[in-house]
Amino acid sequence: MYCFEHDNEICIIDCGVLFPDDDLLGVDYVIPDYHHLIRMNKKHKILVITHGHEDHIGGIPFLLKQVKIDAIYAPRFAKALILKKLNEHKGLEHTKIIEVNEDSNIQTKYFQIGFFNTIHSIPDSLGVLINTPNGRVVETGDFKFDFTPVGTNADYQKMAFIGASQPDLLMSDSTNSGVEEMSISERVVAKEVLDIMRNNTESRLIVATFASNVYRVAQIMEAAVKCHRKVIVFGRSMENVVDIGRKMGTIKIKNSQMLKPEELAHTPDDKVCIICTGSQGEPLAALSRIANGTHKHIHLKPGDTIVFSSNPIPGNEDSVNRVVDNLFRAGAKVLTKSILNNLHTTGHASQKEQKLMIQLIKPKYFMPVHGEFKMLMHHRQTAIDTGIPPENTFICANGDILILRDHQVLPSNWRFQGDDIYVDGNDVSGLSTAVLKDRRILAENGMVAVVIAIDSKTNTLLAPPVILSRGFVFIKDSQGLMKEASFIVGKSLQEQMKEKTTFGELKNCVRSTLEPFLYKKTHRNPIVIPVIINSRKTMEELAKKRKSHRSKPREKVKED
């Protein structure tokens, strides 16, 4: 998300979401911090979308719940995806969304915004030109250059025309800045998939790819139809994209060429092509469930051919390897991207393509965007190699500000709050780092609860502390440890209660006594939760219940 602000207007480019790493336990999404936009709610704001991938549109529902947006401007395919997303959130169904294309022009009081076609792995991908009273900015969105594209070609002439008008700042996609060579064409991948289908004439074909790679999905379907196979799609995100792609005309396949789940068992193997999610080893995705034998409709057969039309995203290698191993164990033949085949190509520009973009736009200043820090640094060096002075390049962190004034770009000495917000479910307030820290401790070391019964009137301990454990140690094997812990905590509490004390001091006494003891004995640091019962009457009632329970016949106790 990038915000361009002038007087009482803000133009926002993209509003994405990040999917959490494994260490963010229980977190569903990571979104930007919208606090600045919330504070500026009286200003007029528009949201411009470059394309329909989740890292560019996924945060829109969370933004709209907190920030007033006058209108969303999005290309055709992105608009359809946004509408489907907003229909799942009550109260956002009637958001104003205006469709734009390469010929569109948005005019506000201070901003004039134009567009140009780019190539990406999803249809209707646009770069953005923003004219302001102080200068011109070009934001590429995600892009690559493919000289034999599957969909709409990049608008080289318009990019060159923009370059001739001397824009001030170029903000350019950095995702593949560490890759030197030009990326291969999507048509090469399509040919490879078609060859695999033609050479596997007896087995079922299961192809796993990114649901967001609409052109790839379309080409896999076309190849299947050419090889007289019927297509079935599994995975919620894949089903959504295929449904929208067919309505938009990007995916051309007839109903008669599609299979329903109940028809799968009665269709010959050599007439079936299954397209599914799970190319990154996601535990709940369709391919993982197929590999584990838990999928409702698909059970692997020896000889099935599985094609991974993707590359593992860094960090997902272990998950992908586990799925591949399970597929091999089931007797399947697995094909992945390697030097021997061209089963995947990227949707992002390599160094040579990034240089071409810089040469076409010819900016005075340069800001690499959309990538990890090392990618931004690689892209900055690429810009310097093409002739942009080092002092005219800017590496910005979340919350950093650049000032565009009279066609000059300057870094600001102040910044906005730009932390990540961790979303659990649909709660946009976010989780604090303390909550995540506690979840991590619970996952690694478990929890110990200490129940203390006291009478505050007499300042006495009514019974020895009761210690309960979850995820820390196996109670039956650790009776001695628990008894010793109870004795030590009870002794410490008695010392504390010789003088007037408070509930807070008692809880701190429990923690400060028990935590070092448990670490000394087990070398683990569970979360210690003291629970204080302050009632002699309650304890007497509990004692009566326990006594009554013990007096019941043995058979009845077993039933309970």
Catalytic residues: 173, 348
State the Cα–Cα distance between residues 528 and 298, nearest whole angstrom.
46
Identity of the amino acid at 205: L
Q: Let me know: does 146 contact 348? Beta carbons within 8 Å.
A: no
DSSP string, 434-493: HHHHHHHHHHHH-EEEEEEEEETTTTEE-SPPEEEEESSS-GGGGHHHHHHHHHHHHHHH
Classify residue 184 by its DSSP letter.
P
Smallest Cα–Cα separation from 74: which of 11, 14, 17?
A: 14
CB atoms near residue 502 (< 10 Å): 9
Do the bridges between strand 126-132 and strand 112-117 make them parallel or antiparallel, or are there none, so unpaired? antiparallel
Q: Where are the beta strands (DSSP E) in 297-436?
A: 305-308, 333-335, 365-369, 402-405, 408-411, 421-424, 427-431
CB atoms near residue 270 (< 10 Å): 14
What sign does the CA torsion over 21, 24, 28, 29 have? negative
Number of H-type helices and E-type strands within the chain: 17, 25
Here the tokens at position 197 are: 């289908």
Identity of the amino acid at 9: E
State the Cα–Cα distance between residues 128 and 118, nearest whole angstrom.
10
State the Cα–Cα distance between residues 176 and 375, nearest whole angstrom.
7
Classify residue 95 by its DSSP letter.
-
Query: What percent of the residues of the chain are helix, what percent strand, and what percent coil, each to the nearest 5?
Result: 35, 20, 40
* Vertex 69: Cα angle to 65 and 72 (nearest 5): 110
Question: 326: which residues sit within 8 A by CB, 6+ positions away?
Answer: 291, 292
CB atoms near residue 377 (< 10 Å): 16
Length of the chain: 560
Question: 135: which residues sit within 8 A by CB, 6+ positions away?
Answer: 167, 168, 169, 404, 405, 406, 407, 408, 409
Q: Let me know: does 70 contact 37? Beta carbons within 8 Å.
A: no
Tokens 């600045």 correspond to what residue?
36
Grouping H, G, I as helix, E, B as strand and the rest as coil, residue 291 is: helix
